[in-house]
Amino acid sequence: MSTRKASLTDKQTKNGTSKYVLERCASINEYYDIAFKVMLLGDSAVGKTCILVRFKDGAFLGGNFIATVGIDFRNKVVDVDNLKVKLQIWDTAGQERFRSVTHAYYRDAQALLLLYDITSKQSFDNIRAWLTEIHEYAQKDVVIMLLGNKSDMAAERVVKTEEGQRLAKDYGVPFMETSAKTGVNVELAFLAVAKELKHRATQQPNEPKFQIHDYIESQKQKSGCCSTV
């Protein structure tokens, strides 16, 4: 443990917004070993907040759409291989006018969950623009995961699963379809990211690299039995 701690504190930045906040705030919040920043990105109304609420509270935000204002910051501690990993999750507003604020927080993020809505072609088409932005503002080694949300809405689907897969492959990022409503793959998306980050942070030289793609493939649920293949 002590070796890890030492290596991590090296990465602390000067203004107190450390990348790996060890034991800070432990007395107030839940105890945790290691913390990571995860950011949710994507067009307005693709379901970023809903995914987060599903993951954090296991509930679905039905009813009217409530646009997130600016950035919303929440924590959740998860267990990864017997280690308490605190995910600091930035839920961002999809609206254009908040772009400049979100840009400022890109570079702090260690993982990005990029969402589109399988019932909205436009949100899918914008993914390339999002990825361009990410390459411009985020850290070089940031973990990116592409999520096609609202997989429960089979009848209104306009983006095929394969299209998502192809795009993800082009950019070399893992991909899955999720549903905040039914909870399909939501937990997995966050856990896979947590695992990847935890492995990166604690990896010993002789240890095999964590294969996020393989992990996801082995764990993920196909989105509904009636998906058109």
Partner 1 sequence: MSQSSLVAMESVGAQRATATWENGSLAPLDHLRSERADSPTPGLVEGTEPGAGQQSAMFVHSQSFEDLTADAEDKTESKNSEEECEGKLDELVEEEAIEEQCNNMSLESRSREEDVSSEAWRSHKKHVFVLSEAGKPIYTRYGTEEALSSTMGVMMALVSFVEAKKNIIRSIHADGCKVVFLTRSPLVLVGVSRTWQSDKELLRELQYIYYQIVSLLTLTQLNHIFQHKQNYDLRRLLAGSEYLTDNLLHRLDRDPGLLLSAVTCLPLPSSARDVVSSSLQAAKSKNLVFSILLAGDRLVTLVRKKDQFLHHIDLHLVFNLVGSSSSFREGEGWTPICLPKFNTAGFFHAHISYLEPTSELCLILISTDREDFFNMSDCKQRILERLSKRSAYQTMKEALQCPSYSVVQVGIPELRHFLYKSKSSGLYTSPQFPEVYQSDQEQERLMGLYQDLHSFLHHPSRPLRSFYRCGETENLLAQVTSGFELYLCFSPLGTKALADSAVIKLLKWIRKEEDRLFILNPLTY
Which of the stretches 72-80, 174-182, 186-194, 206-214 binds partner 1 when contact is defined by CB under 8 A?
Answer: 72-80
Measured from the Cβ of residue 93, the count of other Cβ atoms closer than 10 Å reads 19
**Residue 15: CB minimum distance to partner 1, A:** 8
**Residue 104: CB minimum distance to partner 1, A:** 5
Does 28 interact with partner 1 (rule: CB under 8 A)? yes
Q: Which of 53, 54, 49, 51 is nearest to 71 (CA)?
A: 49
Contact (CB, 8 A) for 85 and 202: no
Binding mask 41-70 for partner 1 (x = CB under 8 A): ---x----x---x--x-------x-xxxxx
Cα distance between residue 134 and residue 154, in whole Å: 29
Does 97 interact with partner 1 (rule: CB under 8 A)? yes
Closer to partner 1 by Cβ: residue 133 or 163: 133
Rounded (10°) angle between helices 161-171 and 127-137: 20
Does 133 interact with partner 1 (rule: CB under 8 A)? no
Member of 2, 3, 6, 16 binding partner 1 (CB under 8 A): 16
Does 171 interact with partner 1 (rule: CB under 8 A)? no
Identify residues 174-203 at the interface with partner 1 (CB under 8 A).
none
Which residues of the shown chain bind partner 1 in the complex (CB under 8 A)? 15-17, 25, 28, 44, 49, 53, 56, 64, 66-75, 91, 93-98, 100-101, 104-105
